[in-house]
Amino acid sequence: MFVGRKTELDILKTEYEGKGNSLVILYGRDGIGKTRLAKEFTGDKKHKYYMGREYAKDEQNRYFLPVLDEIRELGKLRQNEKICFIIDEFEQIYKGNKEFFTMLKDFIEEPEIGKNVMLLLLSSSVQWVEQEMVKAMGEMAARITSFCKLKEFTFLEMVHFFPDSTTEECIMIAGLLGGVPKYLEYWDAKLPVKENIQRLFISGNGRMRTEASRFLRSSLRELSVYNTILSILAEDENKLNYLYNRTGFSRAKISVYINNLIQLDVAGKIFSFEPDKKDRIKKGLYGITDSFLHFWYKFMYPNLSQLEWEDENVFFTKYIEPGLDNYIRYSFIEVCKEYLTLMNHYKRLPFTCHTMGSLYGKNGFIPIVIKGEKGELLIGMCKWGQGPMNGDDFEGLLSSTSQVGGEVDYYYLFAREGFSDELTALTKGLENVTLIDLNSL
C-alpha cells in the first residue's frame, strides 16, 4: 500500500510535465521509500530503472551502457512522450567510474535523445549529496532542476499506514521505529506491542536487532565514538558539557561528531523556547532525533550482554517495560505538536502561531509553548503515564509557567488516559483551557 508523499509526487509531476529535459535529485536515508516513490510516480509512463552498484569502471560500463542503448530505442518509439530514466544509488556508479557524470551529460545531449528526458537520480547517501555531489557532478550540476529530500512519515501518514491500529498503538510504533517506511513494514499490527518488540528487537533473528550498527556503519566511520555519544544522549543527558566530562573527548571533537550525526538526520540541537528572560533557559542541548536509534541506545545497547543471555520475556520485563512509558512520552509530545501544527494550518487555534517549541527551564520542562504573531502564549501539557491527568498535574504545569516570560493566554492539555472528574470540573466553562484525549488526535 502506497501512503502519503503527496508533496513529493507533485514535485515529480511538475518536473515531468515541464518542457525540455529535467534532472531531479531524490535522496534520503536508506529505507525511507525513494524507490517505492519512484515506482508509484512512473506508473504507466515510459521509463527505465537501473540500480547502481559498486563496480570498477569497465565492469560498471558493461552493465550500464546497454541500459543507455535501451533508452535510445525507447526514444524512437516515444512519440513525443517524455522518458523517465531512474538511476538508483547513483553515487555508487560514480565511486567506480569518475567519468560517470560526463558520460551521462554526453548521453542526454545526443540528438536522438532530444530534450524530452527526465533523469531521476536516487541516493541514500545524504551526506554525500549535501556535501560532495555538486563538486563531483561538475558541469552536470548546472542541469539540476529540482532537489527533493525524502523524510520520515508524519504521524498522520503513519495512521494511514496502520488503518486498523489505535492511536495509542500508532504513537508507540512512532516511538519505537520512527517514520521510516522500511521499518514500519516489519511491524505486525495484529500482534501486541510487547510481542512486536520481542520479535523485532530481542529475538536472535529479529529484523531490528542489528539494524542500528548496520545503518550507522553504512554512513559513518569510527563507530566506537558514535556509540559512546549516542548511548550518553539516550540517557537524556543532553548538555555538551556533560558529554565532555563523561567521555573525555575534547569539546571540538564532540562537536564534529555530533554535526556528522545531525547531517545524517539522527541527532539535532535542542532549541528551547526563549522568552524575554533568557537567563532562565538552559542552552547547549543536543538529542537523538531518530526514534529507532533513541530506543535502541536507551534500552538495547546498554544491555547487550543480557540481550544475549536472558530469555526474551525476562529481558523485556527487566530492561524495557519499566522505562517504556516514560520513553514514549517523547513520541507523544511530537504527535501533540503535529496536531497543533495542523490546527494552526486550518485556522483552528485561537490565534495564528508564530513559533512553537519546548521550554527547558531551571524550574521545569514545559512540553509545548506556542507564541502568536501578536505575542499571545499557549502552553501545552502532555501526559503519557498511567492514570488520567488530574488537578495536581495541572497545578504543576501552572507553577512552571513563570518561565515563559509573560501571561499565558491558553492551555491545551493532552492525556493518554483522559482526565479526572476533578480536573474536568475544574476546567469546565474555562474558554482558555482545552482538554484533548487520544480519540481527539
Task: Return the exposure string of 385-424: e unless at least 16 CB atoms fall within 10 Å of the residue's CB, then b.
Answer: eeebbbbebbeebeebbebbbeebebbbbbbbebbbeebe
For β-strands 22-27 and 146-149, DSSP reports them as parallel
For β-strands 377-383 and 364-372, DSSP reports them as antiparallel
Q: What angle do CA 272, 277, 279 make, to 5 degrees?
A: 70
Please report the pLDDT score of residue 410 as a whole number. 98
CA separation (Å) from 212 to 201, 205, 312, 387? 11, 14, 19, 33
Give dist(CA 102, CA 136) in Å, integer: 10
* Model pLDDT for residues 374-430, shown as the tens digit of each residue: 999 999 999 998 899 999 999 999 999 988 888 999 999 999 999 999 999 999 999
Please report the pLDDT score of residue 109 as a whole number. 87
Report which DSSP code applies to 152. P
Please report the pLDDT score of residue 275 as a whole number. 66
**Domain 6-149: CATH class, spelled out:** alpha beta
pTM: 0.91
Tell me the CATH architecture of domain 349-440: 3-Layer(aba) Sandwich (3.40)
Whether 6-149 shares its CATH topology with 349-440 is answered no
SS3 133: helix
Place of cell 558529554: 243
Range 17-30 average pLDDT: 93
- R_g of the chain, CA atoms, integer Å: 25
Contacts of 59 (CB under 8 A, 6+ apart): 96
Please report the pLDDT score of residue 276 as a whole number. 60
* Model pLDDT for residues 188-226, shown as the tens digit of each residue: 999 999 999 999 999 999 999 999 999 999 889 899 999
What are the structural domain ranges in the chain? 6-149, 155-331, 349-440
Least confident of 78-82, 254-258, 403-407: 78-82
pLDDT of 77 higher than 80: no
* Model pLDDT for residues 149-178, shown as the tens digit of each residue: 999 999 999 999 999 999 999 999 999 999
